[in-house]
Structure 1
Amino acid sequence: MIAYAQALQLLLDQAPGAVAEGVAVAQADERILAAAVVSGQDLPPFNNAAMDGFALRSDGLVVAAGSVLQVGGWQAAGDEASDGDGADAWEIMTGARMPAGLDSVVPVEQVEVLDAVDGRPRRIRLQAAVKPGQHVRLRGQDVALDETVLAAGAMLDINAMTLLHALGVAEVQVQQRPQVAVISTGKELISDATQALQSGQIRDSNRPFLVSRLAAAGAEVVWDGRVSDDVAAFDAALDAALAAGARVVLSTGAVSQGRYDFIPDALRARGAEILFHKVAIRPGKPLLFARLANGSLYFGLPGNPISAAVGLRFFVEPVLRRMLGLKDETSLQLPLQADVRKPPGLRFHARARVELEADGRLSVRVLSGQESFRLKTMLRANAWAVLDGDSALAEAGSLARVQGWGHLQPLQLDGQEKA
């Protein structure tokens, strides 16, 4: 049995490097940028009106209320550039390019039309003073040419993608999603939710949990399936997973020391190198990590649901993070709300709730029901609290390491996101 820090270092030493690929912006949602995005244009690309009204020339001075101005023409959004040098004013619509020589806009509501021809204003009177530059969106005011708008390592979301569309960026370089497979083992497992359970049977909840959480962690699940406690069936499933392109394989169950815990021997028979088996943690101590003969990484997670969740969050996700080209994850240090009993000498991963105190400070509450078979506790948890050390008691007020439910997901606190 090895310490968590030693196990994590072994994992990161074996993790493949990130690989970049180009994808269309429309397909880049929740992808990690492999290279910074530099704007190839100004945004806005030209000076334009922020509202319907009249463009006029201020020359840096306030244009007084009551001024009577001649209107030289009109400009709608999408019209070609106009020359307003010879005019006092120019009728203009929201988003329309400012005519050359004009620098301010007066809203239509602040203008009295004195003269019109065929419905087009020809002479107007200002009903309010106009400040220089008012209601004009300047070229490059939002984004300047050659400005870095997104750094490498940023995760694209709808806001980032909207900006990229506005800048005319059609394709971005992103990190390839790590290709992962999931194998559930156990003759007791039933995958069909409509099938009635027979004596000794349970639902296969680990596999859908892992598949969903892996997607949220930035991976692509290329294969998943369930096998009984049978080496031949396991070998066939692993062959199928590798044929589908899996660079990382996760299995649940069959890694302890019982009669049916066959995975360690099955891996050795395939030429795999087992790098560690059992870590000084709880839950999830029997966790196994190996390198397969083809170089793919293999995680044998225990079968209890929370043990599998801990294995994913604290062993698999750091590897995925490295494969996505991201820096090592940071964590919060928050005070415990109450005393917590922990297994002495083991790193304890507890489902917890980060809460906002009345004085505005954050603290963490370790939830009751920490046994590794209990799923309902996950409904109330919004974080993991990690407790290290030889002591059997972590006292109220002492600091716990706190990490979010997933490495790419910000901590959710009472409907608000906390970094």
Structure 2
Amino acid sequence: MITVEEAEEIVLAQSKSYGTQNLPFEQALGHVLAEDIKADRDLPPFNRVTMDGIAISYKAIEQGITSFKIKATQAAGEQPLDIYTIDECIEIMTGASLSPSLDTIIRYEDLEIDNGIARLLITDIRQGQNIHQKGKDKKEGGVVAIAGQLITPAIISLAASVGKAEVLVKKQPRVMIISSGDELVDVADTPSAFQIRRSNNYTVKAVLAQHGLVADMLHIPDDPDATRQQIQHCLQNYDVLLLSGGISMGKFDYIPQALQDLDVEKLFYKVLQRPGKPFWFGRHNNGTLVFAFPGNPVATFMCVHRYFLPWLNVTLGLPVKNNIYARLANDFIFTPALKYFLQVKLSYTPQAELFATPVEGNGSGDFANLADTDAFMELPLDRSEFKQGEVFKVHIF
């Protein structure tokens, strides 16, 4: 049996690049950018009006002019309009492109307009006010988003604004989520008194979807031949297999033998942790990885967050997000010599301190308890008593 830290080191050592691919920019959310995105022109591409009002030449202010003849009205997207005398103005809307003959915007709130004449109600006017200058954000060819970062809605917006219809992203691994056992029935089915509905696979799929990864799902019946055939197919067509349950030594647990027959090397089995002690991890000789989590819902949920997601981040070149700490809100006791992943509810104090309140459930099968918590607090295995106010690492889900 190995420690959590040893298990993590072994798992992360199996990270590798899966290459790159081009995606339509609107489908790239949640992927990792594999190229710099550059501006195809200045941003903004023209002197852009930021307030509804009138556009004037500041020379008029310097000469003491306080009323202006409205020459025309210009909306956003229209050809810029010029003035030819400094006592003229253009009534102009937010987002419009400003003519070189104009350099200052006066808001409607600071004007009185009557019979085509705009009179100033203020005296404090600065040249260039209420204008977003051309190229102020980025010059043509400037990098607006650097490679290696997660594509967020903001980056989707940037790609659209610079005409980047396709973006180069890092390929995500092909993932198959596998459940097994005749005691599990489909969500839409009515289980018998001795059956339960499949839920772990949907839970894992939902977690991965939150991180931009779309996984496939498969259920394997309790049959040795079917188990071997299905596992073999998955090893040949996927980069990662995520199993929930069926990896122990029960009479009808056929997966361990199938993995052995199919040349999947066991890298470790069992970790000094609760939940999730009987966690199995291995690698096929073609590079496909197998994460075989315990079947208990909370154990599966925890292991996905503690091991698979960090592996995924390293694989995609993202930082491993395991550097968040919180103070324990109440005393807590856990006596087994295992690292304990305590379910907690997080909250901030007015002093911006993060506190974790334990929410004790009924063991690793109590998946309903997850709905009332939002993180696991990682308590060290060399202690049994944990005091209020002590600081420990938390894994937010």
Mark yes or no: TM-score above 0.5.
Answer: yes
Distance 1:401 1:111 in 2: 61
Which of 242, 248, 251 does residue 250 from structure 1 map onto? Answer: 242
What is the distance in 2 between the residues matched to 1:319 and 1:126? Answer: 63
The residue that corresponds to 1:6 in the other structure is 6
The separation in 2 between residues aligned to 1:314 and 1:98, in whole angstroms, is: 54
User: Shift in Å at residue 144 of structure 1?
Assistant: 4.1
Per the TM alignment, residue 287 of structure 1 is displaced from its structure 2 partner at its CA by 0.9
* Equivalent residue letter for 2:149: A
Distance 1:356 1:329, change over 3 A: closer
Q: Could you tell me which residue of structure 1 aligns to residue 122 of structure 2?
A: 128
- Structure 1 stretch displaced more, 23-32 or 256-265: 256-265
| 1:278-304 deviation line (CA, Å, top 9, x unaligned) | 111111111111112322101111111
What pairs with 1:3-402 in structure 2 (closer than 5 Å)?
Answer: 3-59=3-59, 64=64, 67-70=66-69, 74-84=73-83, 86-94=85-93, 95-108=95-108, 110-113=111-114, 121=116, 124-129=118-123, 130-193=125-188, 195-221=189-215, 223-242=216-235, 245-357=237-349, 359-369=351-361, 371-402=363-394
> Which segment is superposed worse, 276-285 or 386-395?
386-395
Inter-partner Cα distance in structure 1 for 2:209 and 2:234: 16
Rounded to whole Å, the distance in 2 between the matches of 1:131 and 1:240 is 71
TM-superposed deviation, 1:377: 1.1
Relative to structure 1, the CA distance from residue 57 to residue 212 in structure 2 (aligned partners, 3 Å threshold; closer, same or farther) is same
RMSD of equivalent CA atoms: 2.5
Question: Are 2:70 and 2:91, in contact at CA under 8 Å, matched by a contact in 1?
Answer: no
Identity of aligned residues (%): 28
Contact 2:68 2:89 in 1 (8 A): no
Structure 1 residues 343, 250: closer, same or farther in 2, change over 3 A? farther
Matches of 1:237 and 1:268 in 2, distance apart?
A: 14
The CA deviation at 1:358 is 5.2
Determine if contact 2:15/2:314 at 8 Å carries over to the other structure.
yes
Q: CA deviation at 1:400?
A: 1.4
Paired residue total? 394
Q: CA deviation at 1:183?
A: 1.0
In structure 1, C-alpha distance between the alignment counterparts of 2:100 and 2:87, rounded to whole Å: 12
TM-score scaled to structure 1, two decimals?
Answer: 0.86
8 A contact 1:178–1:218 mirrored in 2: no
Relative distance call for 1:68 and 1:272 in structure 2 (3 A) is closer
In structure 1, distance between residues paired with 2:25 and 2:79: 29
Contact 1:57/1:101 (8 A) holds in 2: yes
Q: Structure 2 vs 1, CA of residues 112 and 83 (structure 1 numbering), >3 Å: closer, same or farther?
A: closer
Note the C-alpha offset of 1:378: 0.3
Moved more, 143-152 or 91-100: 143-152
Q: TM-score, normalised by structure 2?
A: 0.90
Given that residues 335 and 398 in structure 1 are in contact (C-alpha distance below 8 angstroms), is that contact kept between their aligned partners in structure 2?
Answer: yes
Q: Is the 8 A contact 2:228 2:255 kept in 1?
A: no
Q: CA deviation at 1:189?
A: 0.8
Cα distance 1:167–1:290, how it changes in 2: closer, same or farther (>3 A)?
same
Q: Tell me the equivalent position of 1:117.
A: none
Moved more, 42-51 or 82-91: 82-91
Task: Assess if the C-alpha contact under 8 Å between 1:33 and 1:174 holds in 2.
Answer: yes
What's the CA shift for 1:108?
Answer: 4.6
Contact 2:232 2:262 in 1 (8 A): no
Q: 1:196 to 1:330 in 2, by over 3 A?
A: closer
Deviates more, 1:363-372 or 1:80-89: 80-89
- Preserved CA contact (<8 Å) 2:55 2:90: yes
**Residues 7-63 of structure 1, C-alpha deviation per residue, up to 9 Å, x if partnerless?**
211112222225222212121222222233232322221113233433211149557
Q: Secondary structure of the equivalent of 2:341?
A: strand
Which one is further off, 261-270 or 175-184?
Answer: 261-270
Q: What is the CA–CA distance in structure 2 between the aligned matches of 1:89 and 1:26, rounded to whole Å?
A: 44
CA distance in 2: counterparts of 1:176 and 1:354, whole angstroms: 34
CA contact (8 A) 2:340 2:381 kept: no
Distance 1:323 1:370 in 2: 35
Q: Give me the whole-angstrom Cα distance separating, in 1, the residues matched to 2:219 and 2:46.
A: 59
Contact kept? 2:273, 2:339, Cα under 8 Å: yes
Deviation at 1:164, TM superposition (A): 2.7
Whole-angstrom distance in 1 between the partners of 2:203 and 2:301: 8
